[in-house]
Each structure stands twice: as C-alpha cells, then as structure tokens.
Amino acid sequence: MRPGVALRLAWRQARGGRRSLGAVFACVALGVGALVAVGTLGAGLEATLGREAKALLGGDLELRAARPLPPEAETAVDRFRREGARVVGVRELVGMARGEGAGGSVLVELKAPEAGYPLYGRLATTPAAPLASLLEGDGAVVQQELLDRLGVAPGDRIRLGEVTLTVRGVVEAEPDRTASLVSLGPRVFLAPDALTRSGLVTFGSRVRHRVLIGLPPGVAAGETRAALARALVDPGVRVATYDEAQPGLRRFFVQLTTYLGLVGLASLLVGGIGVAASVSAFVARQVPAIAALKALGAETPTLVAVFVIQTQAVALAASLVGAALGVAVQPLLAAALAGLVPFALEPQVQPATLARAVAMGLTVTLLCTWAPLAAVRAVPPWLILRRDVDPDARAAGGWLPLVPVGLGIAALVLWQAGSLKTAGIFLGASLAALLGLLALARGLVLVARRLPRARGLAWRHGLAALQRPGGHASRVVVALGVAVMLLVTIALLQSVLGRQIDHEQQRGAPSFFFLDVQPDQREPFARLVERAAGAPPALTPVVRARLAALGGERLTREMIDRRRARGEEGWWYFTREYVLTWAEELPAGNVLVRGRWWTAAEAAAGARVSVEEVAARHLGLDVGSRATFDVQGVPIEAEVTSIRRVDWQSLTTNFFVIFSPGALAGAPATWVATARVPAAAEPALQNAVVAAFPNVTAIPVRDVLERVGVVLGEIAVAVRLVALFTLGTGLVVLAGALAATRSQRLYESVVLRTLGATRGVVARGFAVEYGLLGAAAGLGGGALATALAWIVVRWVLDAPWSFDPAPLVLGVAVTIGLALMVGFLVTFRLLGQKPLPVLRRE
Amino acid sequence: MMIRVRDLVMRLPSGGRFVTILDGVSLAVTAGEVVAVTGPSGSGKSTLLGLIAGLDTPSAGSITVDGVEVTGLGETELARFRRRTIGFVFQSYHLIPTLTAAENVAVPLELAGTPEPLTAARRRLAEVGLAERGHHYPAQLSGGEQQRVAIARAVALAPPLLLADEPTGNLDSATGTQIIDLLLALNRERGSTLLLVTHDVALAGRAGRAIALRDGRVVNGHHA
C-alpha cells in the first residue's frame, strides 16, 4: 500500500460523495455536540464545586449536629481558636414568619450566624453592608420571595415566634445554602440573640447547630479533622472538611451528568446508524470506480485506506464543528439547571473534554464504517466488464465482522458511563431497544408485503416503497425510534412524578404538617384546627433521639468511620436524628413483615420497638435484637419485636422506630399534627395557627410538592435538551436514507408520471411511506418508552405506576409530522423533474 | 391527423454549452399508421418520441397529438393526456421494481379509475401470454417477459397512440421478433397508431413508413 496514492485517491473520490459524506458529517457533529455540551457542563460543575468548596461548606472544617455541641467539642474548638483559627457558630431551623398585624404567614428557613460569617465566599445583600450591622438591633435580612409573599418591603417589620424584626435588606446570594436541592421556604437571617428570644428554639425543635472553622495558613484540614475525630467520640457530631463538602450535592451532579452523558452518547450511536448507512451507500455508488481501480492494479488495502481516510477526515471535521456546537449549546443546558446550582456556573471548555468527545466521534465513525468498508474488499475487478451484474453479492461475512464493532461500542459506553453497572444497564437497554425496533421495522415490511394489495395507488406505492432494497425502513425506525423513546420516557416519567407530587391526586393527603406543638398547646391547637377545618387534626407524639448502642455495643465515631471507609451506604442510619413515637396499634399503611405487634400486657412489661424494614437491614437489627436510644441524655433500651414495611410515598407521618406505649413516659415529647382542608381554606388555617401558636411550624404540603415539581421540571428540561440532539440525529438518518434512495424514487415517480400519474398521486405515495415510517418509529419508541418508564418507576423510583397516554399520542403524532416534513424537504424536488431526461439516463 | 409536429427544436445543455438534439423537425402521422423512426444513435429519435408524449418541453416548435396542442398543456393536463392518449414502450422496459407484473399493468387502470384494475390487468397479461406470471416481480422475469409486461401496461387503457422506443433494443433477435409481432398484432386489433423508434433495418421494414433522422433533421419522409 502506498499512502501517498491512497491520500490522493481519497481526495478525488470524495468529490463524488458529497451527499453521503454530508450525512456522515451531520450525524457525527450532532453526536459529538451532545457529548461536548454535557461534558463541558460536567467539567464546569466539578471545577466550580472544587473552587467554591470552602464557601459551600462555610469553612475549612465544619462541625454539625442536631443538638448543641457536647463539652468536649467546645473544648476542642476553643483550642483551635487559641491557635489562630476563625470560628463561627451558626444555627439553622425552619419557622414561620408573619407580617405585622393580620398579615399572612410563610414557612421560612432561619439562619442565625455569629459575627464573622461567612468565613469564605461572599454574602451578597441589598443594600451591600456587613451582615452583622444589618442584623444589629433586631434586624433581619430576607430573600425577596418572603417580601413578595408577605406583601412587605424593606423597612417593614415581620414577626418570628415571639420577636419582631425589621427587614433591613434582601439577600441575593448565600454561599453555603446548598444543603438540599429543594428548600422549604425563603431564607431569613437574624441575630443569634434574636433567635434565642424568639422562643423557637425549645426542646424538640429541629435546630441544626453548625460550627464553621477557618484554619490559619499552614494548618491542614485533614489532620485537624482527624484530631477532632479522636477527641469527639460522639458520632452524632458530623465533622467534614471542605474537600468532602456537600457529598450529596456532588453525587447528585455526578449522577446527573453521567445520565446526560449517556443520553448524549445515545445520540452519537444513533448517528452511527446514519454513518454506516451513508458510507454503505457511498461505497455502493463507487463500486464501478472501485472495480475499475482494481482492474487498473490498485491493491485492496490501498482502496480500503482511501475510504478510511475519507470517512475519518469527514468525522474529524464534523467532530470539531460538533465540539463548537456543544460549547455553544452548553449555556442553554446550564441555564436549564440554574435553579439547582447554588452558584454561578462558569463554562469550562477543557481540552480533555473536547478531545474525549472528538475521540468518541472518530471511534464511532470507524466502528460504523467497518462493515461497509468490508464491501470495498469484496468488489471483484471483473465487474468492470459486466455492469449489469448485481453487485449485491458483495455482502460478506455475516455476523462475525460485527463482533469487534459491538465490543468497541461496549468499550465506548463503559468509558462514558464510568461504571460497569451503569454501562451494563445502558448496553442492555440499548440492545433491547435496537432489537425491538428492528423487529418492528421487519414486521412493518412483512405486513406491507402480506397485506392484501388494495385501495388507492398512493397506499400501494407507499407500502411497496417500504420494501425497497437496502432496508432503509429498519434504520429509520431504529434511529427515530430511539429518539422518540428518550423523549417520551422523560415525558412519561414527568407525568408519573407529576401525579405523584400533585396534591389534588393524593387521596387523603394532608394539607399541612404542623411541627413542634408543645404539650400544653395540644388541646387549644386541636380546638382551633377543628374550628377552621371542620375536623380535628391527627396528633402524634414525637420524641427526638439518637441511636446510642446496638446489642449493648456503644456507637462510636470510629465504628461509623469504619463503615464509611468500607463504602457502606447505610452509615447515615447510625448517625441520624431519630424521631420516635409510641403507639398501641400498628399504624395504618404499615405492614408487619416479621415478628408481631405488642399486646397491652407486653407493652406494660417492658420497652419494645418496631423497626422499619430498610433501617433494620442497615442497622443489622432483627426480631430479638436490642437497641438503645439516647433521649435527651437518657438511654432507653428496648427489644425489637417486629419489623415493619412502610409506604413512604403516602403523605402521612411515618416513623422508622415506634416504641411500645409507656416506654417513653417522661421523655420530652412534642406533637406533630396533620390536617386536611380545602385548598382555598389553607392560607386562613395556616395564618390562624401561626398567629395563635407562633412556635408551631406549619409545612404546607401543596407548596412543598410544588417546589419539588419545579426541581424535577428543571432536570427534565436538561435531559430533554440533550435528547433533542438524538432527535436531530434521527432526522438526519431519515434524510440520509431518503437521499440514498433518491435515484430509485426519482425513477419510479417519473415512470408513474409517464403512465399518466399526476404529481399529487406521486406525492401521496411518498406521504404514505414517510407517514408509516414515522408512525412505526413513534409507536415503537413509545412502546419502549413505556417499558423503560415502567421499569424506572417500579424499580428505581419505587413509585406507583400510572399510565398517561398523552405523551405517547403526542410522540407518535409529532414523529409522523416530522417524518413527513423531513421526507418532503428531501424529496419534493423530485416531483418537479421532467421525465424524459431521467428516463434517458437510466 | 394523429400527430402533427412543426419545426421542432430541442437544445440541451451538455458540458457547459448547448447541444442541438432536434433541429427543425416537422412530420405528420395519420391515424392508424405504423411509422418507424430510424437513424443512427444520437440522431434525436428517442427525444422526438419523448417530446410527442409530453415528457419534456421542447425549445421551440409545436406538437399536436389527436387534436391536442401538447406543448400548451400544464402538468396535470399532461398527466391526463398521457393516460388517455398515449401508451409508451421503452427499450429498458421501465417497470416499477417494487410492484408485481400485474400491479405494474394495473397502474394506468387505477389512475383512470377503472373498476377492478387488477382483474383487468391480469386479462391484459393473458393477452401478451403472461397469464401465469402476474404475481412475479420484474426482477424475476426475463427481458422478453418484462417487455411483454411493459406492452400490456402500455395498451391497458387502449390508447389511440402507441409509442415504442427501441422496444427490441435489449433483446436477442428471436425474442425481438416476437415482441414486434405482438406490438403489430395489438395495434391491428385496436386500430391504433404506432410510432416506433428503431435502428433495426429489418424492423423498420415491417412498418408502413419510415422517417429517417440524422443530426436532428428529417432526411427523408417518403412513404414506403
């Protein structure tokens, strides 16, 4: 083989294949574009999370607990302070804010930082002033949302529990407000002493105590953490360094970009179908030239090299354009996710991201041209003498040559997915989708063949055209079907989740959860709610506690750290704050899976607990085990007598741990209540409760569900944006397939017109064909989407399945419309051709 | 008068300049005549036939077929005109590969709205001796068989004018003779006009008259 010859030939031969190579270009560019958009977003998230790590945590080091820090922690922190560290204590909790007078009330997230906050990052306020000065003398700095909802302005006063605060400013950006994706309400900053005087911090209230530490230069956070961990045996105090900040948030973004990346890879693989088809058509057209070149003495490897050079050159150009496209689209993706990201996302155009996507574009092109290029080998030189011989005898090798292609694609998927499990699921789903859609396309062609040939000419021609040699129906149905599958799956999941979080759909779901009802408020609270809602609230006693020991073995930090180091997911169950209750009867919606519920006599005999199934598994508890809970410093040991399954989807008060009655007697209990009122009566009830019991927190379920809905909506928009690349690629495959059959189509339409058919008749035949292709892709994709969504809902989200036909119908209709539109864009010019020149050419 | 062609000129772009294919052709064919158009390849025979069928628009001149000015027809009227007036047989058959033989024959019948087009198509196939091959695809038929299907298709609606462009050009001589016999027989039975293009002297001899073309001009117009 002589490389110079191959290069020169490659250049010359490419002139004949503009249309085929154009489709290769578009397919690769779109696929690489999707990968680059997602990769750039992921790199941006990772870089920003890294750069903002200290601001996100609030310090180099954070201590966090559900209770005031134990004395040994205070001692350790004091030592750091003496050694030059900056230390800021912050308390956070939810509460109700009211306007002065008869105004409304709003659930807010309170934050009371000591002077010095924030240690890292910048708290942006309007007016711009140090936070401490704004909070001085019962000032408050709040988010705009609160002002809007209460109808107050800066300078006005709001009430929080027992204190009245003056709004001195609006908070625009808060560096460390990232605890969860969904906030319960707008932020309110207030001074620590104001919080103390509000009366909201009593026993039973959910206060998050944080101590933020800024270390002096030269002191390593990791070593300090290790020292603290040794000093603090109590695992209830979480110690984190900035570089492990927000593990939840980081994990969420990593997963999100992984899934988005796989959707992007799907569009590149769909593009691969187009690449294979276009290169195949290109090679088929070049068969006479290949035969001639072989007859003239060109060696087969040289000729194969010619086509590899051509396709790789096109793929390289396409990948570069695709990379530019991806960089250009990334801001859209970032904008879609803006609500989820607590900081400004800077696009990170990293050479590594680009190189990786370009490499994927080139590799997919190489893999997908493998089989078509085998045809170059098989062209016999004698073909130059006998052009009438059907060169279709070239199909070589059957399945065997596809094995390395499959392995190559599997390797690419593994590279993109980053984990064997995710890659396996993706490959399995892709293979199932591919086989399903292929079977459907094959079925469509078979039905078209078997169908009693009847009705109009247009139908007959449309159906007959589906059987055109070259199998364009299969690849169009697969390519478009995959795109439809992705888009309809998102729509179906959104619909299922939408129903799940649609308050109106939740039968018997409460309108409110009321927290922190104190023992002495119980009766007046119940009376007030009954007056307003027409029915008494359901009141459940709760006692806040921590797990202290299992089977007599005390829980220590060392033990938890060991589990975390082993990568166990359930360590959270050991350190979390438990909300305990007691009950005489098994609560509705709970099912016993092992053991049995206590009788009154058994309950009187000693402390027993019933533990939720999943928690029991992680904690290693079963019937007969013993667990000790620390209730405000008092250890209470109980025997596990039953394991329960809980329907967490039901919007009622559910508990991990339920004690037998009497076991928690004397423990400081508060009460949680649920109440249901018509939607229109919700604000009135909330305002009445908050006015009468300022310490009680009312969580409006509808409002929280709507906030969850907004977050899910933003994720769906991002996924859909990437999936649109797949749709674009699918349409390119359709256009490419139609372009490849262009000469056949032109010929047939011309013969028909010679026989007296009008353009209208020919166009209707086209319409039947394109419409059927679209319908098959739409139906197949829709069916796969339904299966996929069902699997995700059933096995991943563990939610009840409900089927919404609307996305499916819309998916089929839109696919038919798009297929018709693209089809006619590609072929409408055929209709205007004069027959004679076409017939002469044949 | 079945066909009247006056001063027909056809120029086509080729390699950046215009090539004159027909250069002022005039001729007349009366109803029921069998006329052969002869001449070497490139003399413009097939183009003449195609223009008479309205398959392209001439650069200049006029064509009247069965009293209709072909050059003045719009797209839809042309389609109707071809369906009603003209049957066309091509050298390379031009059957639609995705349709069976019977379906190919049925196409003009369907376009004309004939009831039971497939039954009628099978009858036509029987007339050309292909009663048994109606369900075969073109690729499954021999060249002679394909041309018979094309002829059955051309005469399916019994058009008054049959145009045949080198109908035997792709066939061996024995099969070619059979095809010509068939064409002439069908033409006689129906009393239609047959204009056929050929460079086969023997075939031209079987026509009632021959018109010779050379370099786009009529070089003789004598009655045989």
Encode pLDDT of A329-345 as tens digits. 888 888 888 777 767 77
A578-606 mean pLDDT: 89
Residue A358 pLDDT exceeds 60:
yes
Instruction: Quote the minimal CA–CA distance from A393 to chain B in Å.
Output: 15
Instruction: Quote the minimal CA–CA distance from A834 to chain B in Å.
Output: 6
Element (H, E) at A198: helix A192-198
Dist. CA A784–CA A487, nearest whole Å: 11
| B223: DSSP letter | B
Residue A17 pLDDT exceeds 80:
no
Higher pLDDT: B199 or A621? It is: A621
Higher pLDDT: A33 or A743? It is: A33
Dist. CA B15–CA B11, nearest whole Å: 13
CA closest to A745 among chain B residues = B96
A105-118 mean pLDDT: 91
CA closest to B110 among chain A residues = A457
In this prediction, residue A399 carries a pLDDT of: 67
Of B47, B50, B96, nearest to A751 by CB-CB distance is B96
Q: What is the pLDDT of residues A766-803, one digit of tens each?
A: 899 899 999 999 999 999 999 999 988 888 777 778 88
- Please judge whether B98 and A842 are an interchain contact, meaning their C-beta atoms are less than 8 angstroms apart: no
CA closest to A463 among chain B residues = B98
CA closest to A748 among chain B residues = B96
Dist. CA A34–CA A723, nearest whole Å: 8
Of B46, B55, B82, nearest to A834 by CB-CB distance is B55
Residue A705 pLDDT exceeds 90:
no
- Please judge whether B79 and A753 are an interchain contact, meaning their C-beta atoms are less than 8 angstroms apart: yes
Instruction: Quote the minimal CA–CA distance from B41 to chain A in Å.
Output: 13
pLDDT band at residue A396 using 50, 70 and 90 as cut-offs: very low
Q: What is the pLDDT of residues B141-184, one digit of tens each?
A: 998 899 999 999 998 888 999 999 888 888 888 888 888 888 89
In this prediction, residue A384 carries a pLDDT of: 59
Q: Where are the alpha helices (DSSP H) in A210-246?
A: 221-231
In this prediction, residue A285 carries a pLDDT of: 78
- Please judge whether B110 and A759 are an interchain contact, meaning their C-beta atoms are less than 8 angstroms apart: no
| First-last CA distance in chain A | 36
Cis peptide before A381 (omega within 30 of 0): no
Residue B221 pLDDT exceeds 60:
no
Q: What is the pLDDT of residues A27-70, one digit of tens each?
A: 999 999 999 999 998 888 888 888 888 888 888 888 888 888 88
pLDDT band at residue B125 using 50, 70 and 90 as cut-offs: very high
Q: Which amino acid is at A402?
A: L
Please report residues of B whose CB lies closer than 8 A to that of A756.
Answer: 79-84, 108, 111-112
- In percent, the amount of chain B with pLDDT more than 90 equals 31
In this prediction, residue A51 carries a pLDDT of: 81
A 451-480: CB under 8 A from B: 453, 456-457, 460-461, 464-465, 467-468
Higher pLDDT: B202 or A6? It is: B202
Residue A516 pLDDT exceeds 50:
yes
A 435-454: CB under 8 A from B: 453
Q: How many CA atoms are closer than 13 Å to the CA of A193, on its beta-carbon side?
A: 7
Please report residues of A whose CB lies closer than 8 A to that of B57.
Answer: 834
- In percent, the amount of chain A with pLDDT more than 90 equals 26
Residue A1 pLDDT exceeds 60:
no
In this prediction, residue A672 carries a pLDDT of: 92
Rg of the Cα atoms in chain B: 17
Q: Which tokens belong to A661?
A: 């009655």
pLDDT band at residue A709 using 50, 70 and 90 as cut-offs: confident
Kindly report which listed range (A106-120, A622-636, B100-114) carries the lowest average pLDDT score.
B100-114
Sheet holding B3-14: strands in order across?
B17-29, B3-14, B60-65, B68-69
Dist. CA A363–CA A195, nearest whole Å: 61
What's the mean per-residue pLDDT of chain B?
87
Please report residues of A whose CB lies closer than 8 A to that of B50.
Answer: 835-836, 839-840
- Please judge whether A748 and B98 are an interchain contact, meaning their C-beta atoms are less than 8 angstroms apart: yes
- Please judge whether B50 and A840 are an interchain contact, meaning their C-beta atoms are less than 8 angstroms apart: yes
Dist. CA A457–CA A779, nearest whole Å: 25
Identify the burial level of B80 via C-beta atoms within 10 angstroms of its C-beta, where 0-12 means exposed, 13-18 middle and 19 or more buried: middle
- Please judge whether B90 and A757 are an interchain contact, meaning their C-beta atoms are less than 8 angstroms apart: no
- Please judge whether A468 and B79 are an interchain contact, meaning their C-beta atoms are less than 8 angstroms apart: no
Please report residues of B whose CB lies closer than 8 A to that of A455.
Answer: none
Q: Which tokens belong to A163?
A: 């204190």
Of A461, A756, A760, nearest to B108 by CB-CB distance is A756
| First-last CA distance in chain B | 19
Please report residues of B whose CB lies closer than 8 A to that of A461.
Answer: 98-99
Of B75, B82, B84, nearest to A754 by CB-CB distance is B82
User: Considering the entire predicted model, what is its pTM?
Assistant: 0.78
Going by their DSSP bridges, the two strands A208-214 and A86-99 should be labelled as antiparallel
Cis peptide before A800 (omega within 30 of 0): no
* Residue from A387, A449, A751 to probe the interface with B (highest B Cβ count within 10 Å): A751
In this prediction, residue A389 carries a pLDDT of: 44
Instruction: Quote the minimal CA–CA distance from A278 to chain B in Å.
Output: 22
Residue in this structure with the two tokens 């939810």, named with its chain if needed: A94
CA closest to B137 among chain A residues = A464
Q: Which of A406, A441, A379 is nearest to A276 (CA)?
A: A406
In this prediction, residue B223 carries a pLDDT of: 41
CA closest to A836 among chain B residues = B55
Q: What is the pLDDT of residues A791-837, one digit of tens each?
A: 888 887 777 788 889 999 999 999 999 999 999 998 888 888 888 88
Query: Quick check: helix, strand or coil at residue A118?
Result: coil
Dist. CA A613–CA A611, nearest whole Å: 6
Kindly report which listed range (A64-73, A445-454, B17-26, B81-90) carries the lowest average pLDDT score.
A445-454
* Residue from A453, A468, A755, A840 to probe the interface with B (highest B Cβ count within 10 Å): A755
- Please judge whether B50 and A755 are an interchain contact, meaning their C-beta atoms are less than 8 angstroms apart: no
CA closest to B53 among chain A residues = A754
Instruction: Quote the minimal CA–CA distance from B84 to chain A in Å.
Output: 8
Interface of B with A (CB under 8 A): 12, 46-47, 50-51, 53, 55-57, 75-76, 79-84, 88, 90, 92, 94-99, 103, 107-108, 110-112, 118, 153
Element (H, E) at A163: strand A163-173
What's the mean per-residue pLDDT of chain A?
85
Instruction: Quote the minimal CA–CA distance from B50 to chain A in Å.
Output: 6
* Residue from A451, A836, A840 to probe the interface with B (highest B Cβ count within 10 Å): A836
Of B99, B111, B118, nearest to A756 by CB-CB distance is B111
Instruction: Quote the minimal CA–CA distance from B98 to chain A in Å.
Output: 6
Residue B84 pLDDT exceeds 90:
no
The size of the A-B interface in CB pairs under 8 A is 84
Please report residues of B whose CB lies closer than 8 A to that of A467.
Answer: 98
- Please judge whether A460 and B99 are an interchain contact, meaning their C-beta atoms are less than 8 angstroms apart: yes
* Residue from B88, B98, B103, B111 to probe the interface with A (highest A Cβ count within 10 Å): B98
- Please judge whether B55 and A839 are an interchain contact, meaning their C-beta atoms are less than 8 angstroms apart: yes
- Please judge whether B84 and A756 are an interchain contact, meaning their C-beta atoms are less than 8 angstroms apart: yes
B101-115 mean pLDDT: 85
In this prediction, residue A592 carries a pLDDT of: 92
Residue A452 pLDDT exceeds 80:
no
- Please state the ipTM of this predicted complex: 0.77
Of B97, B111, B153, nearest to A757 by CB-CB distance is B111
Sheet holding B217-220: strands in order across?
B86-89, B161-165, B193-197, B34-38, B209-214, B217-220
Please report residues of B whose CB lies closer than 8 A to that of A753.
Answer: 79, 82
Query: How far does Cα A322 stand from its chain's mean position?
Result: 24
Element (H, E) at A793: none
Query: Quick check: helix, strand or coil at residue A562?
Result: helix
For residue A227, is it left (φ>0), alpha (ψ between -120 and 50) or beta?
A: alpha
